[in-house]
Chain A
């Protein structure tokens, strides 16, 4: 099995690793039983994602797609971010081995969970835009 140079680059030098203390939304998906967990925090100002951080327990593909996804949503509006799919993340990495495609779904799911959390907190008045 071979990973592309882009995947190895994001695996060895992952972008935006960590957590945002005063996040606007956070999402955790996957489970340890399956060997993949991804947590994504977003900071939103005026409808724009101004910061994003992730932490991932998982294989090389899971770490690389997390990293790439954070790079792709940084600076995007919430609506723009919602159009990003796991396929777009995968393509941006030059593809993944067939057995690894399911790992890339987590990044999209974690982002969507974080945005859902942001909207819920906004609606509940816990945060302001």
Chain B
């Protein structure tokens, strides 16, 4: 059976050019970049080059890029480090209700530690309204963190406008751009953000490597303490091979973003349109146009998400769901609840996230198989019988 991977928001495959670039750094150029000898200098050179590649893709300066272990670490560092560095000025932080848990749970922990957090609502499409941000400011607000694109429903936020409001109030602005890299062209100077988090494995670099953009002059506290790596801001021997991979991956992602989006958007739109047309009582989640070019998220009434995923897996299709049963909790996705879906509809959500490897044939296969699966599961559902 041909397997179809449509779960690229969860993680992506490492592409061959990325892997090829990485391989010599395991066995040949394995030096520690902090060492003075030739082995060390080779590794240092690779580290500098990757930093330039990441900086260029973001419109930043190389000295504004700090490598981390993952997107979660970058989010934690930006928010915790920013909140504590600004603590003498105030204890109020602002975020949105639909952030990734790396942001939401960091905020919740900061509340335990005495900070106060405002969670901005979103509209039915998942958009944060700038006037809501404006109203949330207090004299003691020091930091705002709003994601660039949502990982579940794909909605893209008006980051430049939100950052402008935050700057006008003298607060730091962080954006979690983990899902946006490779899909949305990014220029940190034009966006005027102070901090931006990213994660390599979402754009065809390996897992276990991320970065934080930290604007020159912005001071945040360290998360970890140790050696002098990353200009004394992030200790730990650098994960050179993965950093090299991430440098190549982000360079490729930035250089081909327009071509890739031109390929993906028709696939995404056919998938959404095919599902909505073939299956009754389905809704699209997230904004119709301000959405990631590879994201299709739908809620299918009267069916629970995990049984959809299992059935899709049996015909070789890998997708994802915001149902409680797939998260190990009793509540469905906080994102779907925040856009106003009732629990029972949120439980029947399904996310397909595409990559350039997907084809229109695969999209047609998914539409056809999903239609059959929904029919079978609805025939089994006591809710459908009552409809």
Q: Are B324 and A34 in contact (CB under 8 A)?
A: yes
Do residues A35 and B382 form an inter-chain contact, with CB atoms below 8 A? no
Stretch at the interface among A51-59, A68-76, A84-92: A51-59
With A55-B380, A57-B383 already in contact, 8 other A-B pairs whose C-beta atoms are closer than 8 Å: A55-B381, A55-B382, A57-B381, A57-B382, A57-B384, A58-B307, A58-B325, A59-B325
Does the CB pair A62–B381 fall under 8 Å?
no
Say yes or no: A35 contacts B343, CB within 8 Å: yes
Contact of A32 among B305, B344, B380, B385 (CB under 8 A): B344
| B346 closest partner in A (C-beta) | A35
> Does B310 sit at the interface, judged by CB under 8 A?
yes
Min distance, Cβ B381 to any Cβ of chain A, angstroms = 5
Query: Is the CB–CB distance between B310 and A11 below 8 Å?
Result: yes
Checking B302, B314, B324, B332 against A57 with a beta-carbon cut-off of 8 angstroms, the contacting residue is B302
Q: Taking CB as reference atom, which chain A residue is nearest B306?
A: A59
Shortest beta-carbon distance from A79 to chain B in Å: 27
Is B328 an interface residue when CB atoms closer than 8 A count as contact?
yes
14 contacts across the A-B interface (CB closer than 8 A): A19-B385, A35-B304, A35-B325, A35-B330, A35-B344, A36-B304, A37-B383, A55-B380, A55-B381, A57-B382, A57-B383, A58-B307, A60-B306, A103-B325
Q: A33 at interface (Cβ–Cβ under 8 A)?
A: yes
Provide the bound-state CA to CA distance between A33 and B337, in Å.
Answer: 11
> B242 at the A/B interface (Cβ < 8 Å)?
no
Rounded to whole angstroms, the CA-CA distance of A31 and B378 in the bound complex is: 16
Q: Tell yes or no: A95 within 8 A of B by CB.
A: no
Contact of B343 with A63 in the complex, beta carbons under 8 Å: no
B381 and A56 contact, CB distance less than 8 A: yes
Q: What is the chain B residue whose CB lies nearest that of A14?
A: B380
Q: Which of B222-266 contact A (CB under 8 A)?
A: none
B309 to chain A minimum Cβ distance, whole angstroms, is 9
Shortest CB–CB separation between residue A101 and chain B, in angstroms?
A: 12
**A73–B303 alpha-carbon span in the complex (Å):** 26
User: Contact between B379 and A17 (Cβ–Cβ < 8 Å)?
Assistant: yes
How far is A75 from B383 in the complex, measured between Cα atoms in Å?
Answer: 28
Instruction: Report the separation of the CA atoms of residues A8 and B310 in the bound assembly, to the nearest whole angstrom.
Output: 9
> Which 7 interchain pairs have the tightest Cβ spacing?
A32-B344, A59-B325, A59-B306, A55-B382, A35-B347, A39-B382, A33-B343
User: Does A65 lie at the interface of the complex (its beta carbon under 8 Å from any beta carbon of B)?
Assistant: no
Contact A57 B304 (CB under 8 A): yes
User: Could you say which residues of chain B place their CB within 8 Å of the CB of A99?
Assistant: 328
B323 at interface (Cβ–Cβ under 8 A)? yes
Q: How far, in whole Å, are A39 and B342 apart by their CA atoms in the complex?
A: 21
Query: Nearest-CB distance from B350 to chain A (Å)?
Result: 14
Which of A12, A17, A39, A62 is close to B304, meaning CB atoms less than 8 Å apart?
A62
**Which chain B residue has the least Cβ–Cβ distance from A63?**
B307
Query: Complex formed: what's the CA distance from A80 to B385 in Å?
Result: 30
Asked if A38 lies at the interface with its beta carbon under 8 angstroms from chain B, I say yes
Q: A19 CA to B328 CA in the complex, in Å?
A: 31
